[in-house]
Amino acid sequence: MASLSNLNQLLHINTLPVTSLNSTPSITPSTITFGLQSKNARKSILVADGLRRVVYVRATANDDDDDEWGSEPSADVAVAEVIVPESETEKLKKDLVGSFYGTARGLKAASETRAEIFELISQLEAKNPTPASTDALSLLDGKWILAYTSYAGLFPLLSSGLLPLLEVEELSQTIDSESLSVQNSVLLAGPLTTTSISTNAKFEVRSPNRLQIKFEEGVIGTPQLTDSLEIPETVEFLGQEIDLSSFKDIFTSIQNTASSVVQTISDQPPLKTPISNSYAQSWLLTTYLDEELRVARGDGGGVFVLIKEGSSLLTN
C-alpha cells in the first residue's frame, strides 16, 4: 500500500485533469462527477459527485490489493470537500422565476416588475443552450406549466372574472414531437369540481426555432369531483359577521345534490368541437430552451415563460 506522500507520483499519467484539493474548482455545471484512475491502480482513486460532496483519495499501488473501499476514510485516505459554484445561467433562472412572485402569472405585474422580468429574460436568451430548438424536439416534449406571460389576450382568463365561482388553477402546454401535436389546456377549479378546457393542434417546423401551429379541435373536459366543500361557521359581509351554523343542514343538502349531479356528468365523455376555420393558426418562436425552462414568443407579441412539469423551479 502506497503512502499518501507518494500519491502525486501515482497520478502523473493516465489520469483526467483535476483541481487541486486545496483550491475551489472553477467548474460551472451544477452537477459533476470526477473519476480518476492511475495506471498502477485497478480502482478509482478520486471520486466526487454533486454540488458539495466529500472527496476520497486513495492510493492503490499494488494490483494484488483486493480491499474494498470502506464507508469511513482509513489512514491512507485523504478527504477534501469540492464546492461546485452555481452557474450564472442557473442563477438567472432562479432570479427570473423568483421575480414572478405575486404577479399572478403576469396579470398583476407592475411596470417596474415587468421591466425587471424582461431584462432577466433577455439575459437568459443570450445564454440559450439550444440555439436551434427544432433540432432538439425531444427537449420540447412533455407538459409545460405557464409561469408568466405578457400576452394581454390571456389576461381576461387570468383575472378569474370570466366565469363566476371559478378560478384558473393551471395553464399548460403539452408537446408530443412524435405525433407533431400540441395541446393547450386550462384547468379551472370550482367549489366542488375541477374541469379543463383544451385546444388540440398540429405543428410544423418552419425554421430552427419557429413552429407553425394549426388548431384542429376544442375539448371541454367533464367535471371531476374535488374534496367536500367546507362551510365556515361565520362570514363577514359589509362589516357584519353572519352566523351560518343555522344554515348548515341546508348547505349540506345542496352539496349532496350537487355532488350527485356532478358524478353523473363525470361519467360522460368530453365534449369535442372541431375547429374548421382556416385562420385558426399561430406560430411560436422558442428563444430559450433547456431541460426545465422554456421561453417562447408568439405572433400576438407576447412572451411566455414555461416550466417543465416536475421541475424544482415550480416550487421556488
Separation between Cα atoms, residue 155 and residue 206, nearest integer Å: 28
Sign of CA dihedral 160, 161, 162, 167: positive
Q: What is the pLDDT of residue 201?
A: 96
Amino acid identity for residue 202 in this structure: K
pTM check: above 0.75: no
Separation between Cα atoms, residue 285 and residue 155, nearest integer Å: 21
- pLDDT (tens digit, 0 to 9) for every residue of the chain, 316 residues total? 444 444 344 344 344 444 444 444 443 444 444 444 444 444 444 444 444 444 444 444 444 544 555 555 454 555 555 555 779 999 999 999 999 999 999 999 999 999 999 999 999 999 999 999 999 999 999 999 999 999 988 887 777 655 556 788 899 999 999 999 999 999 988 777 788 999 999 999 999 999 999 999 999 887 776 655 555 666 666 667 777 666 666 666 666 666 665 566 666 778 889 988 777 899 999 999 999 999 999 988 899 999 999 999 998 6
Q: What is the pLDDT of residue 222?
A: 77
Contact in structure between 133 and 289 (CB atoms under 8 Å):
yes
Partners of residue 200 on adjacent β-strands: 183, 217
Pick the CATH number of 88-221+270-315 from 2.40.128.280, 3.30.470.20, 3.90.1150.10, 1.10.3080.10: 2.40.128.280
- Give, in degrees to the nearest 5, the angle at Cα 116 between 115 and 120: 115
Contact in structure between 271 and 285 (CB atoms under 8 Å):
no
CA-wise closest residue to 305 among 288, 280, 284: 288
* Strands of the sheet with 77-83, listed across from one edge: 33-36, 46-49, 52-58, 77-83
* C-alpha cell belonging to residue 222: 367533464
Q: Is 297 helix (H, G, I), strand (E, B) or coil?
A: strand
* C-alpha cell belonging to residue 137: 424536439
| Comma-separated ranges of CATH 2.40.128.280 domains in the chain | 88-221+270-315
Separation between Cα atoms, residue 313 and residue 307, nearest integer Å: 7
Separation between Cα atoms, residue 245 and residue 257, nearest integer Å: 19
Contact in structure between 134 and 208 (CB atoms under 8 Å):
yes
Contact in structure between 313 and 97 (CB atoms under 8 Å):
yes
- Give, in degrees to the nearest 5, the angle at Cα 155 between 152 and 157: 135
